[in-house]
Amino acid sequence: MDTVLEINKISKRFGSLVANDSVSLKLGKGEILALLGENGAGKTTLMNIIYGHYTADSGKINVLGKNLSGGKPREAIEAGIGMVHQHFSLAGNLTVLENVMIGSESLFKRSSDKQFAKDKLLSISEKFGLPVSPGALISSLSVGERQRVEILKALYRNAKILILDEPTAVLARPEAEKLFKTLREMTKEGLSLVFISHKLHEVMSAADRVTVLRGGKVVAERETKKTSKEELAELMVGHQVNRPIRKAQSIGKKVIEASNITVKHKNQIQLDNISFSINEGEILGIVGISGNGQAALGRLVSGIGEPASGKLTFFEAKMNGFTPRDCINSGIGRIPEDRNTEGIIGELNIWENAIIERLHEPSFSKGGFIRKKSARAFANDLIKKFDVRGATSETQARLLSGGNMQKLVLGRALSVSPKLIVANQPTRGLDEGAIAAVHKELLKARSEGVAILLISEELEEAVGLADRLQAIVKGKLSEPITAENADATRLGLMMAGVWDTIDET
């Protein structure tokens, strides 16, 4: 197999943190290589070095026989490298075509040849089986469609090597399977792929080879046909990984109850006459394909959304009119779906993010001034307890890996002795070890009498954690079923809106 990309002894430091330590790897033409590792293992840093976002401290990058000087995305693009980032870089107020064309034409060109660009885009779209509408606004597209546009942007620039950072982090399993089927077809056209993922079933089904990073170093390389999910998980974390098991327990009094709730936004119904309840010491799992009202449900229970009709109570007190501050003061902890826009302010330090929802508490402020010493101590305690790696209380939150950001958000939610936790995609983007740790914390909270609303697109996670499950489809909720009566077939039907099979009697 011809080598199209060769990384030779790449090293990169950020202060005292060694992100990459003499990393070497090769990629062959038409090959799919998976890059595995714990959160903070250096995967994204390495890919950003290849793409020119970062400059390596030492080492060499060779693309199709040409050495890159490094630190220049334009050079990487011209060499044939395209990158799809974990967090999309699309302008929501522009069309698909306009997003694809950005940066592809000279600034000195008097006018844009939109017809040529449109014809080229549609040709690539048809060739690789990635259908799009060039005139559609990005803001009107689903997550899966935006992912498609990001890939087309790279292919439009004649990419021969495609780097995908957590390409399915925000996709439901059917969308993810469809994406990898498309990517596999693309390799038949000579495209070579490197993708970062924590989902081991994806790695085993999609990749030809796997390179495992731990602590910034390459610790293993495997052919997928000669390894297993269990071996890869152990290689990632350095020890055997076992997810905790939910045990039966008695439940307490009712914590939250929604009766015939409808939520609208700009006259569009987001939640349609839904009802649910959660008791102390119970986890209610909400499963569904992305975009069916999960975000509106999470906002509603966090005090951000307001019902148009229906009744929402918290310990039998009406929540209608509750603000986010009211929810926090009442003991509702929040793990938002999108940690970057709703969970963390990247430019603030970790200690500032740790107390941002608790600034009104005497522990952290007095007379309008922040008690920085206690805030830093609190943040350092969170960092230690929840294993937020490579960070101190003074670290800017934007420098954390996605998984370590998620650990910070989780720790903040659990640190206030909550009565209810709204956990919306709590393990999105986490490695196997971190997933097990998050599950352990949620089950511990459950054992202490906390009620948990778990919104997840991972069926294995939902079935493993929840006591009862409801499916959400087009803003409607099914009747609940117990986890013991849930299996992949039944949940798949429920997520498709087939609810007449539900019978818990």
Residues 257-277: tens digit of each pLDDT: 999 999 998 888 999 999 999
User: Dihedral sign, CA of 170, 175, 180, 185?
Assistant: negative
Pick the CATH number of 3-237 from 3.40.50.300, 3.40.50.720, 3.30.565.10, 3.40.640.10: 3.40.50.300
Closest alpha carbon to 161 in 191, 197, 125: 191
The answer to whether 467 and 248 have CB atoms below 8 angstroms apart is: no
Residue 505 is predicted with a pLDDT of: 43
Least confidently predicted of 150-154, 436-440, 484-488 = 484-488
**Burial label, 501 (beta-carbon count in 10 A; 0-12, 13-18, 19+):** exposed
Residues 178-236: tens digit of each pLDDT: 788 888 888 888 889 999 888 888 899 889 999 999 989 999 999 999 999 889 988 98
Q: Is the pLDDT of residue 475 over 80?
A: yes
**To which CATH superfamily is domain 246-331+418-505 assigned?**
P-loop containing nucleotide triphosphate hydrolases (3.40.50.300)
Confidence of residue 498 (pLDDT cuts 50, 70, 90): confident
For CATH 3.40.50.300, the residue range(s) in the chain are 3-237, 246-331+418-505
Q: String of b and e for 381-408 (b: at least 16 CB within 10 Å)?
A: ebbeebbbbbbebebebebbbbbbbbbb
The answer to whether 342 and 336 have CB atoms below 8 angstroms apart is: yes
Q: Is the pLDDT of residue 119 over 80?
A: yes
Residue 494 is predicted with a pLDDT of: 87
Closest alpha carbon to 310 in 274, 279, 284: 274
Q: Is the pLDDT of residue 17 over 90?
A: no
Task: Tell me how far apart the alpha carbons of residues 441 and 1 are, in angstroms, rounded to a whole number.
Answer: 46
Instruction: Round the average pLDDT of the chain to a whole number and report it.
Output: 87
Q: Is the pLDDT of residue 9 over 90?
A: yes
Element (H, E) at 24: strand 17-28
Residue 266 is predicted with a pLDDT of: 80
